[in-house]
Amino acid sequence: MAVLRAIAHPMLGSIFIVQGLDSLLHPERVVKQAEPVVRPIAERVPAVPDDTEMAVRLNGAVQLAAGAMLAVGRLPRLSALVLAATLVPTTLAGHRFWEAEGDQERAQQRMHFLKNLSMLGGLLIAAGDTGGRPSLAWRWQHAAKTPRRKAGAKAGRARRRVPAGR
């Protein structure tokens, strides 16, 4: 499984590196498409800039950084989760197939929408992949049990050492 992970993470991260860099350097290409999605998000989330071009650049920078981190295996679960979070508004802004005019344009946008949906699924799998190690929830549960188990074992040993007549 480690070999599969070593191949899959760079493959999954590569599109975010390329697209993130493109959005960072040339935001004007997608500003018009992003406008209907950025405005409502900016009103609700203080971290998102009001300026659509700046929001596109910020999204591109985040995708570039998180894609690179996923590709090289640094914090892969967090990187995948960040990429998944950026992919949702990107998909809603860029591939609104339900608004496309013409059958060919609608089919093309639907294909890109479904491609992004597939990438989102892969990112969610990567975000949940513990690499064979126990999950944080499992570690938390067992961390609480370990001191109790050790305390119980010490108490049992102490009882066995005390002579019966005391």
Q: What is the pLDDT of residues 24-53, one digit of tens each?
A: 999 999 999 999 999 999 999 998 999 999
Distance CA 131, CA 153 (A): 32
Long-range Cβ pairs for the range 36-43 (8 Å, 24+): 36/93, 37/89, 37/92, 37/93, 38/89, 38/93, 41/89
67 and 17 in a common domain = yes
Rg (CA), the chain: 24
Name the residue with higher pLDDT: 16 or 150: 16
Half-sphere exposure of 48 (CA within 13 A, CB side): 18
86 and 12 in a common domain = yes
State the helix-helix crossing angle for 76-94 and 2-25, rounded to 10 degrees.
Answer: 50
Q: Which of 31, 27, 26, 11 is nearest to 83 (CA)?
A: 11
Distance CA 79, CA 50 (A): 25
Q: What's the mean pLDDT in 97-109?
A: 94
| pLDDT single digits (tens) 124-157 | 999 999 887 887 777 788 787 777 677 777 777 7
141 and 123 in a common domain = no
146 secondary structure, DSSP code = H
157 and 91 in a common domain = no
Instruction: Give pLDDT, residue 159.
Output: 74
Instruction: Give pLDDT, residue 97.
Output: 93
Number of domain units in the chain = 2
15 and 82 in a common domain = yes
Domain that holds residue 34: 2-133
141 and 128 in a common domain = no
90 and 57 in a common domain = yes
143 and 76 in a common domain = no
109 and 77 in a common domain = yes
80 and 29 in a common domain = yes
Task: Determine the distance from the C-alpha atom of residue 140 to the mean position of all C-alpha atoms in its chain, rounded to a whole number.
Answer: 22
139 and 129 in a common domain = no
148 and 91 in a common domain = no
